[in-house]
Amino acid sequence: MKTKQYESQEAALISVENFSFAYESIDDPLLIDLNFTLHHDEVTLLMGASGSGKSTVSLCLNGLYPEAVEGESNGCITFSGKDITKFPSGMLNQHIGIVFQDPETQFCMIHVEDELAFTLENLQTPPAQMAGMITEALKLVGMESYKHSKLHELSGGEKQKIALASVLLSEPELLILDEATVNLDPASTREFVQLVKAIQEKQQISVLIIDHQADEWLQFTDRLLLLGKEGRLMADEHPDRLFTAKKALLKKEGVFLPKKYDNSPLFTRSMQPIPPAAKNILTVEGINFNRKNKSILNGVDLEIRGGEFISIVGRNGSGKSTLLEIMAGILEPAGGQVLMHGKPLQLWQESELRQKMGFVFQNPEHQFITDTVYDEIVFGMKLNDYPEEVIQRSSSFLLEQFQLSEHKFQNPFSLSGGQKRRLSVATALDDTPDILLFDEPTFGQDAYTTHRLMEMILDLKERGIAIVFVTHDMELASLSDRILVLHDGMIAFSDQPKNLWMQGDLLKKARLRLPYHRENPASREEVHL
């Protein structure tokens, strides 16, 4: 872990002075009187509870906010000593590059090559130089073979790497990574962190990292900024001092403590075994799925029983989300069938099936259909003609459980990434179906919210509801009754988590890792590719 000393404000690349920001649609400011600096050749980690304003900070730093939204700010932000409001339009973005939490929000083109060429065109790069620069950028992030791919056909992790390549083309002085690893498989996360470390050391650029999980970043982080739930800066210290001396503050603010400083399990509740007589809820028989000429799933068979908690894991692009969407009847397989209670999905009435099955998309925005958080939560209840008193009681419970009460009348699309995810999960819990399918349910969530979600999930499991997670979080997967490893289009492993941890070769092939509580320094090196 590095330690740097900065003697004066003259060393500051970014200086934030008495800065506040508020959305016009919200009474209280989201950010209040922030004061901090970011220096040249410095790596800073910004942490805080989901919805505390971390992403908003990043968008204010490069001048996108308040210009791009209905909001107002007070105070001053300077870049290299110059007020950022004085930069010509588009100029500051060439110095400060952001890889957003959701990479799709920054894509403009259809194909990978065209997306990178678009960036170079905005930088007025001579056409003769573009091909070589695009190839080098893709090679740098390990995506050279995807040059001619369509962006919408890439996995979430692959899109994130393309977004990074696009940002690096502008050779920024400050690189901001807004939860850039949340869609990456465990091995790719480590490789991504090592990639950023190598780029930072070679180019000596400044890096601001926004992440709920600090473990992988600590090896080259100089400072940690803690943004409190009330929008104020709570700490600005070296990570080692902060994680050692202020654990109580960090836990209060919902921050995950790195396992280096606190190796206690996230969840200590004893798991109830699946009843021996538990009925089969959902059956997957011989599922095949192709995307163009590429086989994604090849003869997948699976049975899920009531009260069973299953995690589906695997490398980026292995077909995890595809399998989940086929199980939900959203995608049509090329071969095979899915049966719910022994009846093929296509024979179910849509309204009846949705009462039996809940689904949460990887991108929560894909399922929002109303204008307010409250309407989103009660939509299914009203559709199913619930009594008004049940709607009021259930909606109040869900709003409180997922910390959304104060956002009750906000537009779902105006929420932070973590809040959107909480809302998407809440809408799936407005009833008590037989099976719930979640695609990365803890994406963008702080420690407190993750714990609350798991409490609710295990309550549902004990009531006999089957739970299926697609996840890259191996700590979360370790809580499952059963882990499924998707590899080469097939289920390569289906057993208890403790038996997977002994499968070193499969962990490497599927780009997984041991949970932190099962790791030691030697095993970390073995799994890293």
Query: Which tens digits make up the pLDDT trace of 225-259?
Result: 999 998 999 999 999 999 999 999 999 999 999 98
**pLDDT tops 70 at residue 192:** yes
Phi and psi dihedrals of 13, rounded to 5? -85, -45
**Strand 280-291, strand 294-305: pairing:** antiparallel
Stated pTM of the model: 0.85
pLDDT for the residue numbered 444: 78
User: Quick check: 225 and 233 in contact, CB under 8 A?
Assistant: yes
Cα separations in angstroms, 451 against 121, 254, 265, 312, 456: 46, 10, 11, 20, 9
**pLDDT tops 80 at residue 160:** yes
pLDDT for the residue numbered 336: 97
Residue 55 CB-half CA count within 13 A: 17
Question: 100-104, 357-361, 416-420: which has the highest mean pLDDT?
Answer: 357-361
pLDDT for the residue numbered 518: 64
DSSP state for residue 21 in the 8-state scheme: E
pLDDT for the residue numbered 292: 79
Average pLDDT (205-230) is 94
Please state whether the peptide bond connecting residue 387 to the residue before it is cis, i.e. omega within 30 degrees of 0: no
Both tokens assigned to 46: 């910004």
User: Quick check: 95 and 38 in contact, CB under 8 A?
Assistant: no
* C-alpha closest to that of 340 among 292, 384, 302: 302
Rounded to whole angstroms, the Cα distance separating 43 from 78 reads 18
Phi and psi dihedrals of 241, rounded to 5? -70, -40
Window from 43-52, 82-91, 330-339, 357-366 with minimum mean pLDDT = 357-366
Average pLDDT (429-437) is 83
pLDDT tens for residues 367-402? 899 999 999 999 888 887 889 998 999 999 999 988
pLDDT for the residue numbered 9: 47
pLDDT tens for residues 304-322? 999 999 999 999 889 999 9
Q: Which amino acid is at 449?
A: T
CA angle 170, 172, 176 (to 5 degrees): 115
Both tokens assigned to 248: 């109580």
pLDDT-derived band of residue 266, with 50, 70 and 90 as boundaries? low
Rounded to whole angstroms, the Cα distance separating 483 from 522 reads 24
- Number of Cβ within 10 Å of residue 225's Cβ equals 22
**pLDDT tops 50 at residue 525:** no
Both tokens assigned to 215: 């473990």
* C-alpha closest to that of 469 among 442, 500, 433, 509: 442
Both tokens assigned to 329: 């009847």
Q: How is the chain split into domains, by residue range? A: 11-95+172-252, 110-171
pLDDT-derived band of residue 522, with 50, 70 and 90 as boundaries? very low
Q: Which fold has domain 11-95+172-252?
A: Rossmann fold (3.40.50)
pLDDT-derived band of residue 175, with 50, 70 and 90 as boundaries? very high
Both tokens assigned to 272: 């109830």
pLDDT for the residue numbered 76: 96
Average pLDDT along the chain: 88
